[in-house]
Amino acid sequence: MGLYDETLGTLLVGIFFNTYLYGVVSYQFAAYYQANFNDRLPVKCMVLFLVFLDTFHSVAAIYMAWVYMVTNYANPAALQYAAWPYPFTPIGTAAAAFVTHIFLGDRIYRLTHNKVLYGIIVMMALPTFGLGIACGVKAWIIHLIADMPQINNLATAWLAMQMTVDIFITGTLSIVLARAKTGWPATDSIVRRLIRGAVQTGLFASIFSLGDLISFLALPTTNFYGMFAIPIGRIYSNTLMDTLLVREKLKSQMTSSAFERTSRVMGWIPGPLTNPGPAATSIHLGVHRSLQNSADVASLDEEYSYSALADYCGRSTLQLVTMIS
């Protein structure tokens, strides 16, 4: 193993992967603005904030590689100190995670109208955000990499809380969406797409958070943890943008007016937050379903209200609860 494999090598891998993810997220940002969704102002501001945050952090990470590998090429002693983008990493990650957690918590609230559940998510997300900020500030003050084990307890609490929130949101969304299955191929395909997005919400971020935690505790004087820590923020952004862009596919499977009404109920576009009763999460879709085992086929291409659909398949028909905004 080379002299700098555990320091510059692992750091470079993390920066390369982060830059790749930034390219993916940049495409998602462009696709979002090109789609010209009529989203609420808070949603647009959230996307704009992530554009700025991801760009700033990705540029800062590349600058850090330049500082270590070009500016201090003949000065190995520079590796003993944390360049400022390093302590900024937990701050940027905490900000991206907090925005994603609150956004998905709002989706769960609009989907279930359960204030207690939403309150639990907010109460977990706030201290997680605070711990991430504290971790970054403390690392900024320490500056010397050899002294970074001083924040072991703080980093452990932050990453453990972050994984807990991710898993809680992922589990909640998966359970609610799984209950929405109807047995119809047209609707269940959308449910499966949404469940996949729900699993992605916590799976990849949790894997990288766990890798960050283990490597930081086991090898605090190397840059192994940077290989996991630097890309986490882009993973959160990718998750959030995916939940926004999935609407393009859903829209192609729904009538335009049904999609617009669903958008208002789910808070995608401006409009009052309404609670249409037990069917608050129903999505009016145009589908074809065989109503009998015979050749009789009922065309449901025209829009039906929830009550009309319920006559055919019961009170729990099209519960396609989305986590998209």
* pLDDT tens, residue by residue, 184-195: 665 666 667 777
Whether the per-residue pLDDT at 290 is higher than 60: the answer is: no
d(CA 250, CA 286): 11
Residue 162 or residue 286, greater confidence: 162
Q: Give the type of residue at 297.
A: V
| Mean pLDDT, rounded, for 96-101 | 94
Whether the per-residue pLDDT at 314 is higher than 80: the answer is: no
Dihedral angle sign, alpha carbons of residues 133, 137, 143, 148:
negative
Whether the per-residue pLDDT at 215 is higher than 90: the answer is: no
d(CA 251, CA 263): 10
The confidence score (pLDDT) of residue 300 equals 34
- Where is average pLDDT lowest: 2-16, 78-92, 310-324? 310-324
Whether the per-residue pLDDT at 310 is higher than 90: the answer is: no
The confidence score (pLDDT) of residue 56 equals 97
For the chain, give the number of residues: 325
- Nearest CA among 64, 113, 68, 117 for reference residue 86: 64
Tell me the pLDDT band of 316, cut-offs 50, 70 and 90. Answer: very low
Tell me the pLDDT band of 321, cut-offs 50, 70 and 90. Answer: very low
d(CA 120, CA 267): 20
The confidence score (pLDDT) of residue 191 equals 67
Q: For 17-33, how does the pLDDT look when each residue is reduced to its tens digit (9 = 90+)?
A: 999 999 999 999 999 99
Question: Given the DSSP bridges, would you call strands 297-300 and 287-290 parallel, antiparallel or unpaired?
Answer: antiparallel
Q: Count of CB atoms within 10 A of residue 82's CB?
A: 21
| Mean pLDDT, rounded, for 111-130 | 92
Q: Count of CB atoms within 10 A of residue 9's CB?
A: 17
Q: For 220-265, how does the pLDDT look when each residue is reduced to its tens digit (9 = 90+)?
A: 777 788 889 999 999 999 988 988 887 776 666 554 544 455 445 4
Q: How far is CA 117 from each of CA 98, 110, 113, 180, 272, rounded to the nearest angstrom?
A: 16, 11, 9, 18, 21
Give φ, ψ of 297 to 5 degrees.
-125, 125
Query: Residue 297 pairs with which residues in a beta bridge?
Result: 290
- Percentage of the chain modeled with pLDDT above 70: 70
d(CA 35, CA 134): 38
CA atoms within 13 A on the CB side of 267: 23
Tell me the pLDDT band of 279, cut-offs 50, 70 and 90. Answer: very low
